[in-house]
Amino acid sequence: MEVFFIGFDNVGGAVWFRNSTFQSTNERALTDIQRVYPSVSYIDQILIVTWDRLHLLSQNYQTNTFQAVIATSGNETYIMYLYADGLMQWISEYGGITDDGMFTARVVYGQWLISATFELPGSETCSIIHITSRSNVGIPGMFVFDLDGTHPVFVSECEEGDVRLVDSNMNTNASGRVEMCLDNEWRVVGDETWGVEEATVVCRQLGLPTDG
């Protein structure tokens, strides 16, 4: 698995491991797993791995914090990737957000031995910075996978073609990042190829004026 594969400074930050058999922790993990695997009824143990404030190579003002939670029932094993909003600040060895073509972070899960591995959408592109707002379970920044399976499961978190505004100003909904629902996932839209027609459609769906 590659929770967030990228070069980092091993002097700054830390990696923490914690094994838990607490009922409350296991129940929370079970609830999240059941969002995509409702037949799961029991979790025996979980291992929580936290990559805490990892520094960019040669810099110390940008850090990333994220987690992986490995849960097992004794017979089956599941993994959760967790990325909190505001805690993922860089995606490439050059810092911050970079253009596609440079080496950017890769997020992968699966089993290498049977060649059943899958990259999350946006891996190795600048759009991976939006991983905190993406999900396969309907909760931003959370991904849940069955390590014993061969194909990812995605819970529909939006209706195809829906549009939403993310990170908008508190005082107005006329600014922010535009995302559209494509293949049951919120994806960033709007680039240099967009024109007045595309912008008008988005404004209409967001309930904004279209004549300005």
Looking at the fold, whether 74 and 119 belong to one and the same domain comes out as yes
Residue 197 in domain: yes
Looking at the fold, whether 118 and 196 belong to one and the same domain comes out as no
Instruction: Tell me the per-residue pLDDT of 6-27, one tens digit each, with 9 for 90 and over.
Output: 666 666 788 899 998 788 888 8
Looking at the fold, whether 136 and 174 belong to one and the same domain comes out as no
Give the structural domain span for 198.
163-205
Looking at the fold, whether 137 and 191 belong to one and the same domain comes out as no
Rounded-to-5 percentages of helix, strand, coil across the chain? 15, 35, 50
Looking at the fold, whether 71 and 106 belong to one and the same domain comes out as yes
Query: 81-100: string of b/e by CB count within 10 Å (b at 16+)?
Result: bbbeeebbbbbbbeeeebee
pLDDT, residue 137, reads 83
Looking at the fold, whether 99 and 71 belong to one and the same domain comes out as yes
Looking at the fold, whether 142 and 199 belong to one and the same domain comes out as no
Q: Are 48 and 99 in contact (CB under 8 A)?
A: no
Number of domains the chain contains: 2
pLDDT, residue 158, reads 59
Average pLDDT over residues 96-114: 56
Instruction: Tell me the per-residue pLDDT of 39-93, one tens digit each, with 9 for 90 and over.
Output: 888 888 899 999 888 777 666 678 888 899 999 888 888 989 998 888 887 766 6
- Of the candidates 111, 107, 41, 103, the residue with the CA atom closest to the CA atom of residue 71: 41
For residue 41, count other CB atoms closer than 10 A to its CB: 8
Looking at the fold, whether 184 and 122 belong to one and the same domain comes out as no
Residue 151 in domain: no
User: How far is residue 97's CA from residue 75's CA, in Å, rounded to a whole number?
Assistant: 41
Residue 157 in domain: no
Looking at the fold, whether 87 and 184 belong to one and the same domain comes out as no
Residue 212 in domain: no
Looking at the fold, whether 8 and 97 belong to one and the same domain comes out as yes
Instruction: Tell me the per-residue pLDDT of 142-193, one tens digit each, with 9 for 90 and over.
Output: 988 887 765 555 555 556 666 666 654 444 445 556 777 766 666 666 544 4
User: How far is residue 64's CA from residue 55's CA, in Å, rounded to a whole number?
Assistant: 7
